[in-house]
Structure 1
């Protein structure tokens, strides 16, 4: 996995952003049994930065905690066989041979405020947002109650496996 981090706002925590992001992303890929070497981009921004992106791509003029931009169009969540078809040409980075999997944008302000609100560490909140976003990159959603339950279970399983639990 190639994991690129752009920290637009020079955010810092008591953990290494790139190391934790990479660890959580890899755990999701392993759990989902993704058979490809993938490239993932993580951008760290603030309220204004994510508001602009949210407005541009979703026509929602407000900040949020995390945005996910999957490159793969799934028939079923976690079914990576769709990559072998027509999508592979569009997703393949010719320089690396890796699949361009998608982009994650995390709002540093929400990491901090939600950690306080939910009574756990910033590390746990950040890891949760990466896991949540990675599941979106794997085709999962939470628009319906059953979908949300599946995502929540997977997120909790991954964070528990990594030992990143609520404090």
Structure 2
């Protein structure tokens, strides 16, 4: 079972949007055949907040759309009986999500779901630091979104 804690103090998202994200993330966890109890935190923040986080923790003083902080390199390293594995945190800039939805000519919902999935895959160890990894991760994102019924249309 996967538990998701949402942090949205400024109400950047609706309850329906958070429910949709929770459904997609749980779908992804099952799709990837993950069976450990786990938990993840998803926060929705302003451009100023994400820029500060990006600057302070990644030495990049710029606004971005999503940042993920994985707590473990490999969730198999921790197995405390009866305790869920804490995968990490996903931080999403909803203003950037709105802008990118317009730029890519698809819905805000699709962009918000894409960013949530992208961040979640980072927590599961996927990355796009080189061409091979990028192809794998982006291919998996598309595969999951298509299987979930959320194509780019």
Name the TM-score, length of structure 1 as normaliser: 0.84
* Of 49-58 and 113-122, the range deviating more from structure 2: 49-58
Determine if contact 2:68/2:91 at 8 Å carries over to the other structure.
yes
Q: Could you say which residue in structure 2 is the equivalent of 1:20? A: 20
For residues 90-149 of structure 1, give each alpha carbon's deviation from its aligned partner in whole angstroms, at most 9, with x where no partner exists. Answer: xx8xxx721111110000111100000000000110111111111101101001111111
Are 1:134 and 2:120 an aligned pair? yes
Partners of 2:58 and 2:64 in 1: CA distance: 11
Aligned-pair Cα RMSD in Å: 1.7
State the alpha-carbon separation in 1 of the partners of residues 7 and 53 from structure 2: 15
Residue 77 of structure 1 corresponds to none
- Residue by residue, what CA displacement relative to the aligned partner does 1:44-70 show, whole Å, maximum 9, x if unpaired? 001001011111110111110000111
2:4 maps to 1:3:
yes
**Does residue 41 in structure 1 map to residue 41 in structure 2?**
yes
- The answer to whether the Cα contact below 8 Å between 2:36 and 2:84 also exists between their aligned partners in 1 is yes
Structure 1 segments of 4+ aligned residues over 2 angstroms from their partners? none
Instruction: Name whichever of 98-107 and 4-13 sits farther off.
Output: 4-13
Distance in 2, Cα, partners of 1:161 & 1:31 = 9
- Contact 2:65–2:96 under 8 Å retained in 1: yes
Asked which structure has the greater RCO (Cα within 8 Å, sep 6+), the reply is 1
Aligned pairs, number: 152
1:116 aligns with 2:102: yes
Structure-2-length-normalised TM-score: 0.92
Contact 2:13-2:44 at 8 Å conserved across structures: no
What residue number does 1:56 align with? 56
Q: Aligned equivalents of 1:6 and 1:101: distance in 2?
A: 16
Instruction: Determine the structure 2 residue equivalent to 1:31.
Output: 31
1:102 to 88, 91, 95: 88
Could you tell me which runs of 5 or more consecutive residues in structure 1 were left unpaired when the two chains were aligned: 75-79
SS in 2 for 1:88: coil
